[in-house]
Amino acid sequence: MHHSSGKSSLDHWVFGRRTRQSSTKPAANNNAQQHNNSEQRRSATLPPRTTVHSIPLLLFVALSFIALVSLLPQKTHAFSCYGIDESSPSVCSSHGHCIATDVCACHTGYRTGFTSSTTKEQCAGIVPLKRPSLSIYGLGDNGAQQLQNETVSGYTSLTSINATSDSFVLDSQEILLFSLAGYFNAYVATSGNRIASWGEAARTGTGATVDFPDPRQINGTVHGIRFIASREHTVLVTTDNELYGWGRNDANTIASPATDVTTPIGMPKGAIDSAATIVAVACGKSITLFLTKEGAVYSQGKNDNADYFLGITGLGTNAIQVTPARVTGLDAKTVFGITAGDSHSHVLTTDNQLWGWGSGLAIGDGIGNDVKLPKQIPLTALGGESPWQVCDGTGNGLVLTKEGHVFGWGITADGSAGTGSGFGNKVAPVQVAGSLSGVFVTQIACMASLGVALDESGNVHRWGTTTILGKADSPVQVDLTFSGASLLTNNRISRISAGNGYLLVDTFSIPQCFDIRDDNNTVCSGRGSCSGHDLCVCNTGYTGSECELNVCFTFNSSDTVNVCSGRGSCISPDFCVCTTGYDGSNCELNICYGYTSNDTARVCSGDGRGNCTAPNTCACATGYEGVECQHNICYSLLSNDTVNVCAGHGNCTAPDKCECSTGYTGSECQFSICSNVPSNNSSVCLSRGNCTAPDICACETGYDGANCELSVCFGYASNDTSRVCSGRGTCSAPDTCSCNTGFSGSNCQLNICFDLLSNDTTNVCSGRGNCTAPDTCVCSSTDYSGSACELSTCFGYLSNDTANACSGNGACVDTNTCNCFSNHTGTQCELSICFGVAANDTSVCGGKGNCTAPDVCTCSTGYYSSQCELFNCDGILYNDTQVCNSSGICVAPDTCELRTCFGVDVSNPLVCTGHGSCVAQDNCDCVADGSYVGDNCNITACFSVAAANSSVCSGRGTCQGPNDCSCQDGYSGSQCNSFLCFGVAPSNASVCTGHGSCVGANNCSCTEGYAGDECASMLCYGVLSTDTANVCHGHGSCEGPNSCSCTNGYGGDSCNDYFCYGFEASNTSAVCTGHGTCVSIDTCNCTSG
C-alpha cells in the first residue's frame, strides 16, 4: 500500500460512490495535480494509555454496516484488474493498486466504481481534487438532536446541518471531508485530521452528559485515523494500527469492564497479531468485528444477548469475548468486507461469496435457523452478479452488486428489507425494487430499520421505518429539494450514511471552468473534468488550460520543436502525422530505402548490418559496406572481390566470415585440408609432413603414404609386411620395429631363446649352444641337453636326474661338476660331513668313530655322545673330579693316568708354584688371599690384582710383594684406598688446621675468613693477614676473619677512615665541627667561611 506521511490530506484509498456518467465524457486525466490541504498537526489528547500519532486521515470512514471494498487485505497470489496485470504501472488508471481480481484500492482523491453496468471506472477521480468545503443535509428523526434543532422531533424534508460551531472552527485552509451518521449522534471529519460530534451525549465521545446540537471536537484533535465505524458505540483505527473506542459498552464491545465509555480509550487487540494491519471495523449492537489486511476477521462482544441468545460473535460459543478473537471457519477465505447488525453479521470474500452467522432469519441462509459459526449464504437470487457492498440492520441484511442491483432479506414487518409488503419475512436474498427499479445503484447504507441507497444520477432512495417519516416497505425516492431548489442543480452528492431513523447526505458544489459546468460534456473542451473554478483536469492525451491541446508522447501539439520528435504534427493524443522520410507513432523512426529504422530484419540490408540514421542514410556496422550496407567485409576485402577475398578459396558470407570451398578452411580459407585436418593444425598429415594442397601431404623423412600414415623402417614401408622388420615385426615409427614374439633387434633380426637374444653367446642356450629360432637351441656338445641346453652330465647322469646325479647329494652344474648340498662333499658328493669334518677325515667323530650320515657318528667301543667325545673310567665320566680316585686323569675308556699341572705331579708340594692346588689337569686354584695369580699361580699380586696391573693398589701405589701396597703421598690403607690432608685423616678435627674440610689428598676446602693450603691464614676483607702492607689498608693488623685492629688515627671496619680530633671522617655532622672535611689524621679541610 502507498503512504505519504507528509500530507494532511487523505493519503490512502477511497471507497467512493459508483456513478454512471455519460459515455461521451472521458475519464479524468491520470496525472492531475492534487490540491494539498493544510499540513497543520494538533496535539493528541486521547487517554494517556497511548498516543495516536500524526498520520494522514483516511478519506473513507464507513459505518459498521458498509463493506470496505477498497481496504482489501493483502493477497498471496497474482491478480488482474479488468484485464490489466497488478504489476503493470497502468493498472487502476495509475492511481491505485490491484489488490484482488477486478478490485482497485485507490489513492487519495480517486475512487473506483461503475459508470454503467458494463463500464468500470478504475480510480477515475470523481471526488474533486480541488473542491469547496462539504455541505451536509439531514432527513428523519431528531430525538437526540442529531439533526441539531433541539426544538423539533424530526424533519420530513431536507434540513441543513451546520458542521461547525463556536467551539469547532475550521482553519483557513481546512475543509470538511465527510459526515457519518451514528445511532443517535453524528460525526464530521476535516482535512486537518479533526473529528467533531454532536447528538446523544453518551455516544459522542466528548465526555458530555447532556445531548447537544453543536459540533464539538472529540478530545481536542485526533490524528492518524485509518477507519471509523459507529452504531451505539464507535471504534476507530489509527494509522499506527492502534484501536480506540467510546460509547455503549454493556456487551464488552469496547473493553472490559462492561461499563459505558464517554471519551476514547485504547482497546486491547487480543488475538490480533501486533504486526497485522487492521483495515476495517464494524459495530453491531452487541459485537465489534475487525478486518486485517491479510483478510482475517476477529470478533469481540457478548453472545448471550437477552433478546437473541444466538452466539452472534461467530466464535461458536455463547461465552462473552472481552478481547478480539479469530472468527473460525473463514481461514481459507480472503475477506474484504464486514458488517454487523443487532443479531447477526456478514462478510464478503474475494471469491464473490457471502458468509453470515447469528439469527438465521437475519443472515438470509434460506432456512432461518440460528448459526454460531460462519455459514455461506446462498446467492441464487443474484443470478451470477458479484457482491460489492453489504450492510446489516436490526433484523435484516442488504447486498449491493457490482452490476448496480440491491438485494434484501430478513424481517419485512418494518420494511427494512425493502422487499415490499405482504410477502412475509425473507429467509434468502430477494431483489429490492420500488424506486430502484431500472436504476444503477452506487452506494447503500443502513442502520436499525432504515435503508438508504444512492444511484448513478445522484438520487437518494430510502425504505424501512422511522418515527417522523413512517414506514416504506419498498424504496421511495427522497425529495432533494432544499430552499426551493434541487440539491442536484449545482451540487454533486458524494456520500450517504444512515443512523437510527435518520440519514445524512454529503454534497459538493459542481465547479465551472470557463463558464461551463463540470457536468456539461463540453467542459474542458470535452477532454477533461472541471475540478475547481477554471481548473481543468485533462484526460490522458490532452493538456492546456481548457484541455484544447493534444499531447503526443509527453509533448503538446504546440511544441513543434519536440512534439512528434520534431518530424511531424500531433493531430490527436499520441497520434502523429510524420513528414516524408520519417515514421513511427512518434515519428521517431527514419526510413531508409523503403524500410523503417526499427525494421532491423530489413533496413540497411537487415540483420544488424547498419542503422538508418537519417532518411536513406545507412550507418553501416563494422564489417559491412555499401549504400545499404549490402556488402560484407572479410579481413579488409569486400565480398564482391572474388579473386582475393577469402584467399580466393571461398565466399565472404558475413563480416570476417568466409565460407570456404571444399578442401580449405581457416578464417580466411588460407589453409588446405588433408584427411579432414587443416594445414595449420599440428596433427595434419599425422604431424609427419606438410599439407601442400587438399589431401596432398609432403611427408618427412621416415614416413610415407597419402596422409604420411606409414612409417619406414630400414628402407621398407610399414605396409610391406614380407620385408619390413625382417618380416618378423611391424614398423611402428621410422626405423623403429615392434618385433613379433620370439624376435628382437632394431630390425627384428635376432631370435630370442628363453628371454635371451641369439647374439648373447655367453648366456643364450645356457652358453652351450646356438639359438636358431625362437626358444629353439642347438646344443654344442652331447654333454649338454634340454630345450635351452640347460642340462649337464655328471658321471653318467643328467643334472635333472636328482636321485642319481652327484649321488643325490648335490646339483650337477656342469659336465662332471657337482655343487654339493650342505653336509656333503666329494667329487660326486658321495661323502657326508659330521660336525664340519668330512667322513674321510681321520679326525671325524673325534677320531673315535665313523661319519655315516651328515652329523651322524657311529662311535668306537667305549665312546659315546653325538661326536663320540665322551668316555668313562670305572663308570665315572672322564672329567668328573672323582674319576681316577680324584688323583688321576681318565685318558681313555677305563684307563687312568696320574694328574699334573704344568708338568708337576699333583702330589708335589711345588705344584702350582707352591702357591695353589692342582684341581684338574693343568688347572691351578691359587691361594685365597689373592697374593698370587696366573695359570700356574706364579705372578705376585696385591689383593688378587697382578703387581704389573695399573689398577693395583687402587691405582694409587705399587705392589712391592704379596698383598703389600706402597701408597703414593696423600693416600693410605692396605689397598691405598684412603686419603690424608698433610698427614691428617679427614675425620680428624684438626685436619686443615681446624678451619676447613679435607676433600681430597692434601686438598683443603677452607671456611669463610681463612685461606692457604692448610687453611692456616686469616682473611680480612679478602686480604691475607700475612700481607701486612695491604691488609686492613696497611693501617692495622688482621686479628680474626674480617676483624681489623686499627693503628692510632684510623678507624672503620677495614681501617680505611681517618680520625680528626676523635671523630671518624665519615661522621660528617661531627668531624671538623661539621664545617669541613677530614682529609688525613687530625687534618681538616674547612669549608669556606
Domain boundaries, the chain: 512-547, 673-708, 793-829, 980-1015, 1059-1089
What tens digit of pLDDT does each residue of 927-936 get?
Answer: 888 889 998 8
What tens digit of pLDDT does each residue of 629-683 get?
Answer: 999 999 999 998 989 999 999 999 989 999 999 999 999 999 999 999 999 999 9
What mean pLDDT is predicted for residues 992-999?
A: 90
The pLDDT of residue 427: 86
Q: How many residues does the chain have?
A: 1089
* Highest-scoring range by mean pLDDT, 224-228, 323-327, 804-808, 939-943: 323-327
* Highest-scoring range by mean pLDDT, 193-197, 294-298, 922-926: 294-298
**Residue with C-alpha cell 454534497?**
507
The answer to whether 372 touches 310, Cβ cutoff 8 Å, is yes
Q: Percentage of the chain with pLDDT > 90?
A: 54
Contacts of 842 (CB under 8 A, 6+ apart): none
Rounded Cα gap, residues 132 and 173, in angstroms: 11
Reduced to 3 states, what is the DSSP secondary structure of residue 955? helix
The pLDDT of residue 304: 62
Contacts of 256 (CB under 8 A, 6+ apart): 322, 323
| Residue type at position 239 | T
pLDDT at 277 over 90: yes
The pLDDT of residue 131: 47
What tens digit of pLDDT does each residue of 232-249 get?
Answer: 999 999 888 999 999 999
The pLDDT of residue 869: 87
User: In 3D, which of 1026, 17, 1087, 1088 has the Cα closest to residue 455?
Assistant: 17
pLDDT at 690 over 90: yes
**Residue with C-alpha cell 629360432?**
773
Q: Is 1086 exposed, middle or buried (0-12, 13-18, 19+ CB in 10 A)?
A: exposed
The pLDDT of residue 902: 87
The pLDDT of residue 115: 39
Q: Is 554 exposed, middle or buried (0-12, 13-18, 19+ CB in 10 A)?
A: exposed
The pLDDT of residue 185: 96
Rounded Cα gap, residues 616 and 464, in angstroms: 77
Reported confidence tier of residue 558, pLDDT bands at 50, 70, 90: very high
Cite the DSSP H helix spans in 698-838.
none
In the numeric block, which cell numbers belong to residue 429?
436474498
Lowest average pLDDT, out of 648-662, 696-710, 896-910, goes to: 896-910
The pLDDT of residue 27: 36
In the numeric block, which cell numbers belong to residue 646?
577469402
Rounded Cα gap, residues 775 and 752, in angstroms: 6
Dihedral of the CA atoms 887, 890, 896, 901 (nearest 10)?
-50
What mean pLDDT is predicted for residues 695-716?
A: 92
The answer to whether 223 touches 39, Cβ cutoff 8 Å, is no
Rounded Cα gap, residues 250 and 921, in angstroms: 141
| Residue type at position 1028 | T
Say whether 673-708 and 512-547 share the same fold. yes
What tens digit of pLDDT does each residue of 518-532 get?
Answer: 888 999 999 998 888
What tens digit of pLDDT does each residue of 574-622 get?
Answer: 999 999 999 999 999 999 999 999 999 999 999 889 999 999 999 999 9
What mean pLDDT is predicted for residues 377-394?
A: 94
In the numeric block, which cell numbers belong to residue 560?
513543434
**Residue with C-alpha cell 473534468?**
529
What tens digit of pLDDT does each residue of 17-76 get?
Answer: 333 433 333 333 333 333 333 233 222 233 332 222 222 333 333 333 233 333 333 333
pLDDT at 1046 over 70: yes
Per-residue b or e along 591-618, where b marks 16 or more CB atoms closer than 10 Å to that residue's CB: bbeebbbebbeebbbeeebbbbeebeeb
The pLDDT of residue 19: 35
Average pLDDT, the chain: 85
DSSP secondary structure letters along 692-737: EETTEEEEPTTEESTTS-EEEETTEETT-TTTGGGGTEEEEETTEE
Dihedral of the CA atoms 66, 70, 71, 73 (nearest 10)?
120
Rounded Cα gap, residues 151 and 132, in angstroms: 30
Q: Which CATH topology does 512-547 take?
A: Laminin (2.10.25)
The answer to whether 541 touches 551, Cβ cutoff 8 Å, is yes
The pLDDT of residue 102: 66
Dihedral of the CA atoms 671, 675, 681, 685 (nearest 10)?
-110
What mean pLDDT is predicted for residues 965-986?
A: 86
Rounded Cα gap, residues 792 and 785, in angstroms: 7
The answer to whether 579 touches 591, Cβ cutoff 8 Å, is no
What mean pLDDT is predicted for residues 77-84?
A: 66
Q: What angle do CA 897, 899, 902 make, to 5 degrees?
A: 125
Longest CA span, the chain: 184
What tens digit of pLDDT does each residue of 322-378 get?
Answer: 999 999 899 999 999 999 998 899 999 999 999 999 887 788 877 667 788 999 999
Q: Does domain 673-708 have CATH number 2.10.25?
A: yes
Rounded Cα gap, residues 638 and 644, in angstroms: 9
CA distances from 224 to 43, 56, 255, 447 (A): 11, 5, 22, 26
List the beta bridge partners of residue 497: 504
Rounded Cα gap, residues 897 and 921, in angstroms: 11
| Residue type at position 603 | V
Reduced to 3 states, what is the DSSP secondary structure of residue 417? coil
Q: Which CATH topology does 980-1015 take?
A: Laminin (2.10.25)
Rounded Cα gap, residues 1087 and 1081, in angstroms: 17
Q: How many helices (H) and strands (E) does the chain have?
A: 1, 106
pLDDT at 398 over 60: yes
**Residue with C-alpha cell 555499401?**
626
What tens digit of pLDDT does each residue of 419-454 get?
Answer: 987 667 888 999 999 999 999 999 999 999 999 999
The pLDDT of residue 1012: 86
The pLDDT of residue 93: 73
